[in-house]
Amino acid sequence: MTDLLTPKRLTMRIILSLAVLAAVMLVCSLVGTQKVSLKAVFAGPGDEPGQNTDYEILVRVRLPRVILAALVGAALASCGVVLQAILRNPLADPYILGVSSGAGLGATIALLSGITWSFWGGSPIAFFAFAGAIATVWLVWCIGYFTGKLQVTNLLLAGVVVNAFFTAVIMFLMSIAKSEELRSTVLWLMGNIAEKETNVLMASAICILTGIVLLFSICYRLNILTLGEEEAKALGVDTTKTRVVAFGFAAFVTAIAVSLSGLIGFVGLIIPHGVRLVSGPDHRQLMPLSAVIGATFLVIADTIARIIIAPAQLPVGVITAMVGGPFFLILLAKHTRKVGWLK
Amino acid sequence: MKKSLATLVVVFVFVVTLVFLMWHGLPARENTAKMAVPPSRIQRIVSLSPNLTEILFALGLGDRVAAVSSNCDWPAEAKTKPKVGTFWQPNTETIIAAKPDLVVCESFDQQRMVARTLRRTGLNTLTLRVESIGELFSAITEIGQATGCSPAAERLAANIKSQLDRIRTTTSLSRKVKVLWVMQPEPLRVAGVNTFVNEIIELAGGQNAIAPTINQYPSVGTEEIISCGAEVVIQSAMGTENIHKQQIAAEQFWSRFANLPAVKNKRIYVIDADTVLRLGPRLPQGLQTTAQCLHPELFTQPKPRQGTEQTDD
Amino acid sequence: MNAVIEVENLSFGYTPQRTILRDLSFRIPRGGFLAVAGPNGAGKTTLLNLLCGLLRPKSGSIKIDAAPVESYSSRKLAQKVAVVRQEFVPVFGFTVAEIVSMARMPYLGLFGFESETDKEFVNEALEETDTAQFASRPLYQLSGGERQRVFIARALAQNTAILLLDEPTSLLDLKYQVGIYDLLKTAQLKKGKTILAVTHDINLAAQYCNEILLLDTDGSYHIGKTKDVLSPEQIEKVFSVRVFAGSLGQEKFFIPLGKFAKDSYLTANEPDSSEQKKS
């Protein structure tokens, strides 16, 4: 009697969770420091720009934030799943292997050098953060390759070393920074969901969603990868190629997310765990569901961050850590028998 | 080979779409407001910065100010205005809900980004860089132009300038006093040479005890302090309360640097930061206070022990 | 002779100084069942890894279905050869059914969803190994013996012509030891699978396997029909242990004798191995 995952069952679950996400996004965009009435929004933008404030607030301030939070949450959670699978490490998050320090270094350099040149309407910080992330990942992989043919342990070590080094460079740069740039740098590193222009949002959405779909196509190979190198090879999986491809896409998607929103922690680490406790370790289901749940989680976290100490805002990373940590501990305590990582 | 060709085509299409999207966004990037409101129709102004608020009130636009940021506390009327978030985190939603005809803000990152979002909703914004005395005058002029009060702006600027000149002339004949300006005692951070604080020091007849540094407000080590030879230590108070207490605490703190002329001669002053660190219409007051600390012999009034002076412009 | 696995002049060593396999040559015909035995360190697992393409020989060749192992893509090779190992890396909470269905990996399409045929193979394999009862349970909940059966089920579900097993019964109780070999034998006879099983249990090997390859630590080897290769002298030489050889009808069996072996073994009806016991 087999109870395997079928495309139909998976589609149903994904659609259901997407419906939940849509509902959450709608509710959260109606929540904020100002009261906004849905009826007033539907009246449209009005003849003069800025006339219908409800519309402006919802469409230009809240919706972009909510959409961005959803995209970043989906990106981080799905990449967390992939990284945990290919590194066979429950503590892996999408920033491991260099993305975080690389993005941070890129952003810090951009902020401190006062570059105002803007890259095609996106901010220079974002561009440099993205470039920094990709360059660092490539560096880590080169080190991993030349020291041990891309074995998991070598990659992890290379990632740790590079992260430590680049973080030190960031700290050095911050110590010679002017005060206001320093503050900006710190804020960026803490992670921050802000309003972005529509075109930037659309371009990022395309990149992130495409990346997630591509990652989905190798999820069944990730399942096999968890059996171990030899077993996976015996089943016909090219383990090295799968790891390179998986990591390449995951790094790309994460770099985009980070360049948009800074370093938001916890989402990529705990959402995969949480979803795995409920849906099991089959990556064909785990990854898409994690993406949707991650999106929902970050939308809610960002909404809380927006309103909890209004009119000021907390960095969203504070909420993800404070909410995510205990929640995960509870889940783990209750269900620790259901799923084992080792043994 | 068919597979790699297909991949190449897909990648190409992908990149082209992305480029198109990003390019399409270019017109949205503008540094001026999409719709400029003629000055006469500006009835509701929102200010995101205390010094800009002070300028607005000084230009007589006080009743046209619709909302301010939470740390705008002067004049007293400003405190009663509705609030739109803090200086570092202006609340975009509240600003939009206040339906302003003009939003004035400063040019550092956080406020500049808020201004960008506001412009996209069709609001009129004026971003000003106010980080030196010269920029203060430009800011006053620009605000005057934007609100149709250019004559008042000119008068205000001239007034401030003449007061600054008067103090400068008074102190110019005396010897330059070495000043250590402390922004924050713990951890110790001082005002460096590339700051407007330094401009104030120099106008007040002083000279920064710290040599040029990379940072504007560097943290300075104990060795540097011991050897800087400061004759006067000025510390800007944190908040306006308990300046007296802070004065006592400061004197105690500095007593460890017994070799400094400032400590030997008991010339440690804690002064109210609002007039002197806020580049606004009250700058002459702040300069006066500073000059009195540096050259008490030139000014008839006694050395200041507590905060705000009552001198008007 | 239709040889499915052909090994010719195979030499291999992990380091240049130490050669484990020296000039090894043998053939396994289609539908053959070869046992591979030998002391620890003789290279049994190494040979297995060479046969499934994980290691490359230093010299010599290995051919599967008349083509060299290197010439197969790993997917194609996985469709021909299934491997069951004695150690397994702990897996993440996958259920038994999911583990067994991973065997269909070499046949899956783009997003990796199993078709009806795949599911049939999986079900059949579960039935054959008597693991269907565990199908929805996560693997780590099972005992060692049960897990081993699951891995064999996976190899069967892979539907390959060749099965390579590394000590498949090492963790199983007597019933399942025989049961597994019965299973393998059935697969050999009914489905014509070619089987190579590394084993420590020479008695089981003698019972079930057509031929046996006895590897020695010095790189020498003996291959042939089990009744020819397995003699007390051979076993004693290769394993460095005394054995008592007995027979039940046509079947021979061997019992290793240690220091404390009792007389009773020696009073059984066998002429030659009646050495006096030591106290």
Helix A267-279 to helix A63-87 angle (10° resolution) is 70
pLDDT for the residue C279 = 39
Residue A252 CB partners (closer than 8 Å, separation 6+): A134, A207, A211
> Which residues, 6+ apart, have CB-to-CB distance to B267 below 8 Å?
B231, B232, B233, B261, B293
Query: Cβ of C77 under 8 Å from any chain A Cβ?
Result: yes
What angle is formed at CA A270 by the lines to CA A228 and CA A261, rounded to 5 degrees? 115
Closest by CA to A314, choosing from A324, A306, A326, is A306
Chain B CB contacts of A119 under 8 Å are 22
Q: Which of A68, A78, A80 is nearest to A28 (CA)?
A: A68
Report whether A162 contacts A101 (CB < 8 A): yes
pLDDT computed for residue A118 by the predictor: 57
**C63: helix, strand or coil:** strand
Neighbours of chain A (3+ CB pairs under 8 A): B, C
With CB atoms and an 8 Å threshold, state whether A61 touches B93: yes
> Which residues in A lie closer than 8 A to residue B109 (C-beta atoms)?
111, 180-181, 184
Return the H-helix or E-strand segment holding C12: strand C3-12
| Chains A and B in direct contact, meaning 3 or more beta-carbon pairs closer than 8 angstroms | yes
The three state secondary structure string of chain A is CCCCCCHHHHHHHHHHHHHHHHHHHHHHHCCCCCCCCHHHHHCCCCCCCCCCHHHHHHHHHHHHHHHHHHHHHHHHHHHHHHHHHHHCCCCCCCCHHHHHHHHHHHHHHHHHCCCCCCECCECHHHHHHHHHHHHHHHHHHHHHHHHHCCCHHHHHHHHHHHHHHHHHHHHHHHHCCCHHHHHHHHHHHHCCCCCCCHHHHHHHHHHHHHHHHHHHHCHHHHHHHCCCHHHHHHCCCCHHHHHHHHHHHHHHHHHHHHHHHCCCCCHHHHHHHHHHHHHCCCHHHHHHHHHHHHHHHHHHHHHHHHHCCCCCCCCHHHHHHHHHHHHHHHHHHHHCCCCCCCC
Q: Do A120 and B26 touch (CB under 8 A)?
A: yes
pLDDT at B163: 93
**Dist CA B144 CA B157 (whole Å):** 10
Look at residue B126 in the predicted model and tell me its pLDDT.
92
Give the C-alpha distances (Å, rounded to integers) separating C269 from C7, C235, C272: 40, 20, 10
User: What would the pLDDT profile of A284-328 be if each residue is shown by its tens digit?
Assistant: 999 999 999 999 999 999 999 888 887 677 889 889 988 877 877
Task: Please tell me the predicted confidence (pLDDT) of residue B24.
Answer: 62
Tell me how many residue pairs between chain A and chain C have CB atoms under 8 A apart. 118
> What's the average model confidence in pLDDT over A206-234?
90
Q: What is the mean pLDDT of residues A84-102?
A: 85
Q: Highest-confidence range of B204-208, C83-87, C91-95, C251-255, by mean pLDDT?
A: B204-208
pLDDT confidence band for A241 (50 / 70 / 90): confident
Q: How far apart are CA B85 and CA B97, in angstroms?
A: 12
Residuewise pLDDT in 10s, chain B (313 residues): 566 677 777 777 777 777 777 666 544 444 444 446 777 788 899 999 999 999 999 999 989 999 999 888 888 898 899 998 888 888 888 898 888 999 999 988 788 888 988 888 888 899 999 989 999 999 999 999 999 889 999 999 999 999 999 999 999 888 999 999 998 877 788 898 988 999 999 999 999 998 888 778 888 888 888 888 899 999 988 776 778 888 888 888 888 888 889 888 889 999 888 888 888 999 999 899 899 889 888 876 555 554 444 444 3
Supply angle C-alpha A209, A212, A218, rounded to 5: 150
CA of B85 vs chain A CAs: smallest distance (Å): 5
Q: A161: alpha, beta or left, given left = phi > 0 and alpha = psi -120 to 50? A: alpha
- Residues belonging to chain A: 343
pLDDT, tens digit (0-9, with 9 covering 90-100), for C185-235: 988 898 889 999 999 888 888 888 888 999 988 888 888 888 888 888 888
Residue B88 and residue A183: Cβ atoms within 8 Å?
A: yes
Helix (H) or strand (E) holding C242: strand C242-248
Query: Do the Cβ atoms of B304 and B292 come closer than 8 Å?
Result: yes
Among candidates B86, B92, B215 on the partner chain, residue whose Cβ is nearest the Cβ of A178 = B215
Residue among B17, B19, B121 whose CB faces A60 most closely: B121
Q: Which residues pair with C82 in a beta bridge?
A: C163
- The answer to whether residue A6 neighbours chain C at the CB level (below 8 Å) is yes
Look at A56 and B96 and tell me if their CB atoms are within 8 Å: yes
Antiparallel, parallel or unpaired: β B189-190 and B177-184: antiparallel
Q: Identify the weakest region by mean pLDDT among A124-128, A177-181, B85-89, C256-260.
A: A177-181
Query: pLDDT at position A272, please?
Result: 92
Helices and strands (H, E) in chain B, number of each type = 13, 9
Task: Read off the pLDDT band of C20 (50, 70, 90).
Answer: confident
CA-to-CA separations, A124 to A116, A118, A127, B118, in angstroms, rounded: 7, 5, 5, 20
Smallest Cα–Cα separation from A212: which of A240, A239, A246? A246
Q: List chain C domain ranges.
A: 3-240, 241-279
Domain C3-240, classified CATH 3.40.50.2000, yes or no? no
Chain B residues within an 8 Å CB radius of A308 = none
Q: Residue-wise over B297-311: b if at least 16 C-beta within 10 A, else e?
A: eebeeeebeebbbee
Residue from B121, B195, B277 to probe the interface with A (highest A Cβ count within 10 Å): B121
Q: Check residue A199 and give its pLDDT.
A: 82
- What domains appear along chain B, each with residue ranges and CATH number? 39-148 (3.40.50.1980), 172-298 (3.40.50.1980)
- pLDDT score at A290: 96
Three-class SS state of C42: coil
**Any chain A CB within 8 A of the CB of C54?**
yes
Whether residue C3 has pLDDT greater than 90: no
Residue A83 has pLDDT above 80, yes or no: yes
Chain B: give the shortest CA distance to residue A157, in Å.
Answer: 32
Q: Residue A4 and residue C79: Cβ atoms within 8 Å? A: no
Residue C247 has pLDDT above 60, yes or no: yes
**Contact criterion met (CB < 8 Å) for B18 and A48:** no
Q: How many residues are given for chain C?
A: 279
Q: Which letter does DSSP use for residue B219 in this model?
A: B
The answer, yes or no, to whether ipTM is higher than 0.85 is no
- The whole-angstrom separation of Cα C82 and Cα C154 is 9
Predicted local distance difference test score (pLDDT) of residue B238: 73
DSSP B108: S
C279 compared with C260, residue with greater pLDDT: C260
CB C196 within 8 A of CB C34: yes
* Residue C2 DSSP SS3: coil
pLDDT for residue C271: 52
Tell me if chain C has a CB within 8 Å of the CB of A333.
Answer: no
CA distance B29 to chain A (A): 6
| A187, A198, A206 ranked by CB distance to B18: nearest | A206
Whether B contacts C, i.e. 3 or more CB pairs less than 8 A apart, is no
Chain A CB contacts of C123 under 8 Å are: 1-2
Average pLDDT of C57-76? 90
Residue with tokens 């905060």: B307
Task: Copy the structure tokens of residue A282.
Answer: 């089959």
CATH number for the region A7-335 comes to 1.10.3470.10
Instruction: Round to whole Å and give the CA distance between A167 and A178.
Output: 19
Q: What is the pLDDT of residues A47-61, one digit of tens each?
A: 666 667 788 788 888
CB-CB contact of B43 with B29 (8 Å): no
Alpha helices (runs of H) in B101-211, residue ranges in sequence order:
109-120, 133-147, 150-172, 196-203
Measure the CA–CA gap between C278 and B163, rounded to whole angstroms: 118
Q: Please state the φ and ψ torsions of residue C113, each to the nearest 5 degrees.
A: -100, 140
- Residues of chain B contacting A111 with CB distance shorter than 8 Å: 109
- The answer to whether B125 and B17 have CB atoms below 8 angstroms apart is no
Q: How much is the pLDDT for A121?
A: 52
Do residue B215 and residue A176 have CB atoms under 8 angstroms apart?
yes
Q: What per-residue confidence (pLDDT) applies to B307?
A: 47
Q: Name the residue with higher pLDDT: B12 or A14.
A: A14
Paired tokens of B86: 């803090």
User: What CA dihedral angle connects B42, B43, B47 and B50, to 10 degrees?
Assistant: 110
B94, burial (CB in 10 Å: exposed 0-12, middle 13-18, buried 19+): buried
Under an 8 A CB cutoff, do A2 and C119 touch? yes
Please list, in sequence order, all residues whose beta carbon lies within 8 angstroms of the beta carbon of residue A52, skipping any fewer than 6 positions away. A40, A41, A43, A44, A45, A46
The four Cα atoms C148, C154, C157, C158 give a dihedral, to 10 degrees, of: -130
Q: Note the pLDDT of residue A164.
A: 92
> Sign of dihedral through CA atoms A105, A109, A112, A115?
negative
Token pair belonging to C245: 């050889």
C:161-220 residues touching chain A, CB 8 A cutoff: none
Question: What percent of chain A has pLDDT above 90?
Answer: 29
